[in-house]
Structure 1
Amino acid sequence: MQKLFYWPSKNASLSIPLALLLGFGVGLRVDTAFLSSLILVFTFLMIYPTMIGVKLKEAVNLTHGKVVGLSLLINFFMIPFLAWGLGVAFLAEDPTMIAGLAIAGLLPTSGMTISWTMLHKGNVPAAVKMTALSLVIGSIVAPFYLLFMVGQYVPIDLAKTFTTIALIVFLPLLLGHFTFQYLIQKKGPEHFQKIIKPTLPAFSFWAMLVVVFSSISMKAQALLSNPQILLKILVTLLLFYIINFTASTLIARFTLDRPNGIALVYGTVMRNLSIALGLAITAFGPQAALVVTLAFILQVQAAAWYGRIADRYSLLGPNPTSTQDATKVSDKVKNNSNL
């Protein structure tokens, strides 16, 4: 049972496609519209574990100003409009898919930002600051960006969007803070780090698979009648990540040293897809969620491949850790991190 519990989070590149295929197959045979009433519950269960131990105090100190400032400029002035532009260019036949891509572009950084930065000997404190600060800023500005970018295609209810963000971001964040304090007092920091913390990503991942399963099953019939839409989404997402990696690498290469450059790349390319998925499915429906779900698959693989290429060709400067050593520990880092 323990192996089964941890298997999805340790094998994201397999478990997410399996959930997609299972959801598609079930959706072709069974009407799963009833699952829509459970989406918000499982979205909360997906986000809440990732918020336990989030260090929001990192968002208010003034260290690492240059790299953090660059990350904010890229995350909130370049990438959202890139996502919107690609969505309008390739996904205009369904405006809710534009919204899904826009949401992914609006919510930067995740636990994987910190993990990949650590793996490749980047500036980890800066990555922590980016993650905390971007979480707060992204959650506040997302409704206004969505109103501007997709309001002309999809009706945007600002009050509903803020309510959704409060339920899937700020409420889990608040409860996560108090849960962390309680666990530290009752069990101690060592017990939390060794026993409790490793279970949190696995628990979150199971809830995420339910959301993925639900979102694809509810659109299975529509996808069967229009299979080319999957190819369009994948091509759009591939362009999205290629442009992100290229732009962030060039900016980092010419403005920062290697440790800060690594933090900048992973702090801008990695999107908070767990929260994006929750917001997409609750605010815009299964079609928007499908875009974010497919982004999960590409993001994990892209992050791994970028690290190997960056180390091999010294894209951001020489890595003090050999590529061979990085390869050995890459799976360990992915397995103990949030998406």
Structure 2
Amino acid sequence: MKKINLFFLPSRNITLTIPLVLTVGFIAGLFWDTGVLKNYLLTATVLMIYPTMIGFKIKEIVDLSHTRLLLAASVINFVLVPALAYILGVLFLLGDPQLFAGLAIASLLPTSNMTIAFTHFGKGNVPAAVKLTVLSLVAGSLLAPWYLLVMVGGYIHIDLLAVLKNISIVVFLPLFLGVFTYHLLLKKYSQEQFEKSVKPWLPAVTAWGMVYMLFTGISTNARLIVSQPGLLLSSLLVWVVFYFVNYFISIKAGRLFFNRKDSVTLVFGTVLRNLAISIGLAAASFGVTAAFMVSLAFLFQGQSAAWFIRLNDKYKIFPETGRHMLKTRQAK
């Protein structure tokens, strides 16, 4: 039983696991050369993403319900957020283009399983969150190479074919394996048995993969951070501004155009990035420094989402009928 509890520990205590791994990894990197860990990043990435794809429903993409919400989220995810990342990168990260690349990748891959989970916790529109997660994953994966070429191609060499290859390995290979695995599992288990006996293990596997990514990213950059402390400070500042502005845009759009449930979905469908895939793609395409930049976002993303739910419950950030408020204002 103790071994099982240890296995589930990272996924069930993610807010404690992340700073702990970053601290231990940083200390380890100061005393030992952990560069050999980089050789297994791609394999670890595939194993990390694969469990998240088990149960993935491709048919959600062709369902045309919630079109208005999906359109608004797509404009934020693929126009406003990349523009924000580009501005922040030019202002703060030109000194290290790999950090810029890490920020750009994270900005281009919105939504994850966290989107669905936090939408549920925040009493939002869960079916729309599922559809938004599926759509954003596919669209982000297809658009990312071309966006990267435009956003950071002038500051760092972009091997477009290599990025496309890495996306195929990091996103579409686990997607194919996940859909195939889910099909096989449903031959052995009922949907209820799958939800009860199999599904709880999946985030635990992903969490351990994330631990490997975080440890590798921070430990291999530890000496660089010590020699250039401004590197860490500027990176943290960029993420603070990134998430603050992202929340502001999404909350404003939600209050103006949507009811409370859809607004909650809009926030978590645009603010939360797919950091698991982002860190793997960053490591595979640009190296551990880019992956390190993505790893710092873990310090803000989960905690900020949890605090948003608390603040929304306490202060009623979203009224029940946002779009009716807009009509009332226009009538006046």
TM-score, normalising length from structure 2?
0.94
Of the three residues 103, 116, 119, the one matched with 1:117 is 119
The C-alpha deviation readout for 1:134-170, integer Å capped at 9, x for no partner, is 0000000000000000000110011000000000100
CA distance in 2, matches of 1:318, 1:2: 43
Aligned residue type for 1:86:
L
The C-alpha deviation readout for 1:182-240, integer Å capped at 9, x for no partner, is 11111221111001101100111001111111111111111111122211111110110
CA distance in 2, matches of 1:27, 1:287: 13
Of the three residues 239, 263, 266, the one matched with 1:264 is 266
Aligned residue type for 1:58:
E
- Residue in 2 aligned with 1:76? 78
- Residue in 1 aligned with 2:324? none
| Unpaired stretches in structure 2, ≥5 consecutive residues | 322-332
The C-alpha deviation readout for 1:281-307, integer Å capped at 9, x for no partner, is 111111111111110120000001111
The C-alpha deviation readout for 1:257-302, integer Å capped at 9, x for no partner, is 1111111111000100000000111111111111111101200000
CA distance in 2, matches of 1:207, 1:143: 24
Aligned residue type for 1:231:
L
**2:154 aligned counterpart, secondary structure:** coil
Following superposition, the deviation at residue 318 of structure 1 comes to 5.4
**1:232 aligned counterpart, secondary structure:** helix
Of the three residues 95, 105, 109, the one matched with 2:107 is 105
Of the three residues 218, 223, 226, the one matched with 1:221 is 223
- Residue in 1 aligned with 2:51? 49
Following superposition, the deviation at residue 121 of structure 1 comes to 1.5
Q: Which moved more, 1:4-13 or 1:19-28?
A: 19-28
TM alignment of 1:1-339, pairs within 5 A: 1-317=3-319
- Residue in 2 aligned with 1:334? none
The C-alpha deviation readout for 1:87-140, integer Å capped at 9, x for no partner, is 211122101101101111000001111111111221111111100000000000
CA distance in 2, matches of 1:297, 1:213: 14
1:39/1:281 contact within 8 Å kept: yes
1:58/1:132 contact within 8 Å kept: yes
| Unpaired stretches in structure 1, ≥5 consecutive residues | 320-339
Alpha-carbon RMSD: 1.1
**1:295 aligned counterpart, secondary structure:** helix
1:311/1:318 contact within 8 Å kept: no
Aligned residue type for 1:50:
T
- Residue in 1 aligned with 2:326? none
**2:94 aligned counterpart, secondary structure:** coil
CA distance in 2, matches of 1:30, 1:119: 41
Following superposition, the deviation at residue 41 of structure 1 comes to 0.6
CA distance in 1, matches of 2:31, 2:284: 24
**1:93 aligned counterpart, secondary structure:** coil
CA distance in 2, matches of 1:33, 1:218: 6
CA distance in 1, matches of 2:69, 2:100: 30
2:259/2:320 contact within 8 Å kept: no
Q: Which moved more, 1:158-167 or 1:18-27?
A: 18-27
